[in-house]
Structure 1
Amino acid sequence: MAGTSLEKRKTTAVSGHTVSPADEPSADWGWHGTFRVGTPAAGIFVGLGMFAMLVGNHSGWTENLWLIGTGLALLAGVAWMLHKRRTSWRR
């Protein structure tokens, strides 16, 4: 929405560039980032939880295949994310 006053811009201390709150709404209240520890921890917890659900009262292999596939996909995604984060500045 257009206004008569100048737009408020924030300058980050680390990189020195200006961030427009219209482009990045979270910069207006001071936080802009990711959960560096929480995301992999949640992925590992849920991935291992999929394997824990293999112990149960189901009798078919369809459920087992879906649980194993989903658990492996989650753990592979966490491993890829950690590998990508570790090697991002080397290239």
Structure 2
Amino acid sequence: MFIKKKPQLKTQADRELMTTVYHVRDAMARERALLATFREVDELSQARLALQEGLFDFLYREARTRQVSGDLVKEMAAEQLHQANL
């Protein structure tokens, strides 16, 4: 009788997770490109890159565990691609 629509918490949380995954992936790619230009890489830069790789791996596994829908991944990838082209 008094049925309210339940909020789409999983979809919203999955969207935030995928946004974080894409941000970390882009930061990791920028860091790798920057380190590729150096002749000698210090330990701090290597540690920073390793930390970003670990964070990306964790977030990716979390997305797989949460079984993020393929449609959401496709939508977020298209959005990221569109932002990259701007």
Q: TM-score, normalised by structure 2?
A: 0.49
Greater strand proportion? 1
Higher RCO (C-alpha 8 Å, min separation 6): 2
Q: TM-score, normalised by structure 1?
A: 0.47
Larger Rg: 1
